[in-house]
Structure 1
Amino acid sequence: MRHAGICSRILAGLLLTGASVGTAHAAWYQAQSRHFTVYSEGNDAKLRGFAERLEKFDYLLRTITGVTDPERGSPVKVYLLSSEGKVKALARNPNIGGFYTTSDRTAFAVLSREAKSNQFDFGAEEILFHEYTHHFMLHHFPAAYPAWYIEGFAEFFSVVKFPKDGSIEFGNFVLARAPGLFLGEPYPVANLFARNADGLSLRDGDRYYGRAWLLTHYCRYNAARRAELARYLADVANGVKDIQPESYFAGGFAKLNGELNGYMRKRTMSMSRLTPTEMKIDAIVVTPVDPAQGDLIENELRLINHPRTEDLPGIVTAIRSIAAKYPASAYALALLAEAEWAAEQKDAALADADRAIAIDPKSSRAYAVRAEALLEKAHDSDAEADWKAALTSIVRANRADTEDPVPLALFYRYHAMRGGKMPDIGYDGLYKAFTLLPQSPEYRFNFAHATAIRGDYKTASILLDPIAYSPHGSEMREGALRLKTEFDAQAAEKEQGAAKAGNPPPAP
């Protein structure tokens, strides 16, 4: 079955051995590695060390889960801002110290350079390790995992230590979850299995996450419970109907709950280590960021972090003001064009995209904005010359950066807008955009739709699993659940028709 291998691999890994942010005043530097690009104000050992730890962490996840393809997917961008206040303002949330999300072009995280206030707080690295584990899991092991396991898996890897001997220690106790684990009644295992993280109070949320970590940790180091959890997760991921979670665990939830309570009271807990000789980390290259890009970083983040419609005019004004200081910067003009297009300042967007292309004929970002404008024009006129001009811009955007998912998605949209049978090459473009950034719910939704259009309803439904069974509620999750119901019904109807005709359905 499709997800049995996925579950066994990931289990083998875990269970075996508003207001303008303002422009920057300090120079920005970037540390580039195989899987990350880290941006930070100031060039110091802290930046290089942070990037090295991220690469070691990626190596840890790949080693534990058995992932052998180091090149798959786009690098994650990490932005280290000078204060936690900037992070909160950018997130429009006063209660978080860092976050991870996706734009249409990249996956990125935003954190503060400030040290955490105490050992029971979440520092930048713990936040990033937790979120990058989600990113990694969604990229390599997308499936319908239960909410508690998704969060427990990320919590398990959130606290990683890097001793001076160059090794990596993981499976450490999450001190930030200590209050939720030890103050008050322990969160019941039955509740853990019965619900997701929606609507929990701050206190119950802390208890939920802490208990999810504890159960994940316990199952890693207890062979019998490890096997039980493996069977349960495999059946969940494979869509077994009417699952009764308690039946998978000897003695039921009451016994498991008691074991967890005893495990929590142990003076020491098991942990694991990778030695330096096991790790292969490529060189980290630290370079200055182009001054125009550096001055634009915080406003660029405002633009790509899902801005509210009412905030877009202010973002355009801020970017335009900075771009005016760098009239020869294609980067600044392309970003300005992108902001203008988002704010529906369409004539200005096309003009600034053309200005960027005149400076840099290989500006993929500028060509993508130009393609958006020309696609709209072609849709209105239906003139062959306009369709050809739009396609030319899409092709040039793709040639300028073959790893940018935006032109690939635009290529599919071009063929969809023209109507008629979608050529295979159109599907191929959308597929590559999806594989470059499978963490993007938009690309996942679009590729699921495209797969259903081709008649493979079963695979289309499976593609929606990570969204439909997300631990956190959203309109997108509800939409994915509705679509899954439709696709599952269509898949069943197709299989019944094939069975009556005596033909087995094609494999996904």
Structure 2
Amino acid sequence: MLALARVDQNLPMDTAKARDRDCEDMAAQGLDCIDAKPVYHPALVRTWQAVLYGAYAQHFILSHQPAAYPRWYLDGIGALFSTVEYRRDGAVDYAGPPENYRQVTRSYGLLNIRDVLTGRYLDPAYHPMVWTPYHAWLMAQFFLYSPIKPERREQLSRYMAAIAQGTPMARAATVFGDMQHLQREFEVYAEKPASLARTDKHAVQSAEPVIAALSPEQAALIAPRIQLAGWTSTPDASGAERLNQLQQGLAGLGQDSDALLLAAQADCRAGHAERCLAQAEQVLARTPDNATALAWKGIALTDRALSGPAADRAAGLAAARDVLGRAIHADDSATLPLIFYFESFTRAGEPVPEPAMQGMVRVARAMPEAPQPRLELAGELLREGKADLARRVIAPVLYDADETPDRIRAQSLFAMKDTAAHP
């Protein structure tokens, strides 16, 4: 699910720079602009399609080529694909100039390439330049689609590789050498007519779209699934009302297996292991090899073992892992049992055996954009003293362009490791 903010669509154009340009135009015609009525420049509204295509392009690259990217590059990739057009012959045009981008440079001016490459423009106190999606498009166009010299492409490659390894942007940018020279090259390119990229023609798919009709029970589960997906962490006491609302929404579905599994998920995440276990058992009574039900039963048994008497912990964890092993065997493509099996060791404070480590590696490969598997793998690798491997695993999260909660968690992992090594 991608959410689009309305603020991302509107760009004010009635700027002081735009009015200065108006005065310059009048002066060139021998007119005095001091007493003239100012020209009002209405805000530029980007289409929701442009914002959506741009957001999806960023999501795609982070999902299929997870790495640490500079913020300007991700913005640029989104801007390049925000102008995508599908032709009747099956070809796809992209990377073309956004509509009215010349007006944007008139209202905001060009960008300072040094400040972007070094990351200085990201400082909240920075004011010399305004960064917009149109500037991001021009920056990406210049580096990725203009006929720049081979050595410039090599410099960009080295710059991106350095950032992917955690090098600060200012230090990585030194590979470009004389920034004033690079700025002149950029400004010359910015004045040229912009080109676009086009894919090869291919047969247009004319088949009717596949439409799956939902049963009333399946339709009734849509809202609870969305509600549960919004739980960013285990609900605390303040989240009890949300849990009650979810349960009320599922109550009308009776013994529907999907509803029971959703209820089990909610209860396990809320810390109600016994209720979670009971709901999973109801599903298993009908379908003993249901991998999802086995997974929730396994995590419920893990919770029970960890919260129960210490004398019963080893036997309880062994029983939980046996169930999780059955879940993995029942569906070797399911990620949930692999995650829970791994966590049955880390939550118990026990060394993670190699099969469980390999299972979490499979999860990370199956969901390359998900930070949680990488965080858990890195934490265990750090515990084993494999800091270099942990850093490679966690790099897309640790060096994320945005200050996300997951990046902060990744930084904390290494900070704790450093503190332990140098008390």
**Do they superpose with TM above 0.5?**
yes
Task: Specify which of 71, 89, 95 is matched with residue 147 of structure 1.
Answer: 71
Q: How does 1:361-400 map to 2 (within 5 A)?
A: 361-379=288-306, 380-382=308-310, 383=312, 384-400=314-330
> Contact (CA 8 Å) 1:144, 1:237: kept in 2 or not?
yes
> Contact (CA 8 Å) 1:145, 1:237: kept in 2 or not?
yes
Residue 257 in structure 1 maps to residue 187 in structure 2: no
Return the letter of the residue paired with 1:371.
G
- Superposition deviation, residue 352 in structure 1: 2.1
Q: How does 1:10-409 map to 2 (within 5 A)?
A: 120-123=45-48, 126-175=50-99, 181-195=105-119, 207-220=131-144, 221-224=146-149, 225-238=152-165, 244-249=171-176, 251-252=178-179, 254-266=180-192, 268-277=193-202, 285-307=210-232, 309=235, 312-379=239-306, 380-382=308-310, 383=312, 384-409=314-339
Aligned to 2:14: none
> Contact (CA 8 Å) 2:379, 2:413: kept in 1 or not?
no
The 3 A distance-change label for structure 1 pair 414 and 346 is closer
Task: Specify which of 363, 367, 370 is matched with residue 433 of structure 1.
Answer: 363
> Contact (CA 8 Å) 1:196, 1:472: kept in 2 or not?
no
SS in 2 for 1:169: strand
The 3 A distance-change label for structure 1 pair 434 and 314 is same
- Superposition deviation, residue 96 in structure 1: 7.2
The 3 A distance-change label for structure 1 pair 236 and 284 is same
Cα distance in structure 1, aligned partners of 2:226 and 2:178: 51
Cα distance in structure 2, aligned partners of 1:375 and 1:178: 60
Cα distance in structure 2, aligned partners of 1:476 and 1:131: 20
**Which structure has the bigger radius of gyration?**
2
Write the deviation string for residues 239-285 of structure 1: whole angstroms up to 9, x where unpaired: 66896455433641x3433444444444x311111123399999964
The 3 A distance-change label for structure 1 pair 278 and 231 is farther
- Superposition deviation, residue 325 in structure 1: 2.8
Structure 1 unaligned regions, length at least 5: 1-77, 80-86, 98-117, 494-508
- Superposition deviation, residue 413 in structure 1: 1.8
RCO higher in 1 or 2 (8 Å CA, sep ≥ 6)? Answer: 1
Larger displacement relative to structure 2 (395-404 or 431-440): 395-404
Cα distance in structure 1, aligned partners of 2:206 and 2:76: 27
Return the letter of the residue paired with 2:92.
I
SS in 1 for 2:222: helix
- Superposition deviation, residue 229 in structure 1: 1.5
Aligned to 2:376: 446
Cα distance in structure 1, aligned partners of 2:380 and 2:211: 41
Cα distance in structure 1, aligned partners of 2:290 and 2:417: 39
The 3 A distance-change label for structure 1 pair 167 and 196 is farther
> Contact (CA 8 Å) 1:330, 1:360: kept in 2 or not?
no
Cα distance in structure 1, aligned partners of 2:90 and 2:178: 42
Cα distance in structure 2, aligned partners of 1:338 and 1:226: 49
Name the Cα RMSD after superposition: 3.9
Structure 2 unaligned regions, length at least 5: 10-42
Return the letter of the residue paired with 1:414.
S
Write the deviation string for residues 80-127 of structure 1: whole angstroms up to 9, x where unpaired: xxxxxxx68xxxx87579xxxxxxxxxxxxxxxxxxxx994342x544
SS in 1 for 2:325: helix
Return the letter of the residue paired with 2:376.
N
> Contact (CA 8 Å) 2:164, 2:399: kept in 1 or not?
no
Return the letter of the residue paired with 2:195.
S
Cα distance in structure 2, aligned partners of 1:343 and 1:212: 42
Which is richer in strand? 1
Residue 411 in structure 1 maps to residue 337 in structure 2: no
Write the deviation string for residues 427-482 of structure 1: whole angstroms up to 9, x where unpaired: 11111121111212111111112233343321211222222222211343233235
Cα distance in structure 1, aligned partners of 2:239 and 2:101: 38
Cα distance in structure 1, aligned partners of 2:419 and 2:392: 13
Write the deviation string for residues 149-168 of structure 1: whole angstroms up to 9, x where unpaired: 23322332333211111111
Return the letter of the residue paired with 2:147.
N
- Superposition deviation, residue 341 in structure 1: 2.5
Return the letter of the residue paired with 1:286.
I
Cα distance in structure 2, aligned partners of 1:176 and 1:482: 44
- Superposition deviation, residue 410 in structure 1: 1.1
Cα distance in structure 2, aligned partners of 1:450 and 1:274: 44
- Superposition deviation, residue 179 in structure 1: 6.8
Aligned to 1:505: none
SS in 1 for 2:357: helix
> Contact (CA 8 Å) 2:224, 2:250: kept in 1 or not?
no
Q: Sequence identity of aligned pairs in percent?
A: 22
The 3 A distance-change label for structure 1 pair 453 and 245 is closer
Larger displacement relative to structure 2 (291-300 or 479-488): 479-488
Cα distance in structure 1, aligned partners of 2:400 and 2:353: 33
- Please give the TM-score of this superposition, normalised by the length of structure 2: 0.75
- Superposition deviation, residue 322 in structure 1: 3.4
Cα distance in structure 2, aligned partners of 1:166 and 1:208: 31
- Superposition deviation, residue 198 in structure 1: 6.1
The 3 A distance-change label for structure 1 pair 416 and 197 is farther
The 3 A distance-change label for structure 1 pair 399 and 323 is farther
> Contact (CA 8 Å) 1:354, 1:370: kept in 2 or not?
yes
> Contact (CA 8 Å) 1:139, 1:439: kept in 2 or not?
yes
Cα distance in structure 2, aligned partners of 1:452 and 1:390: 26
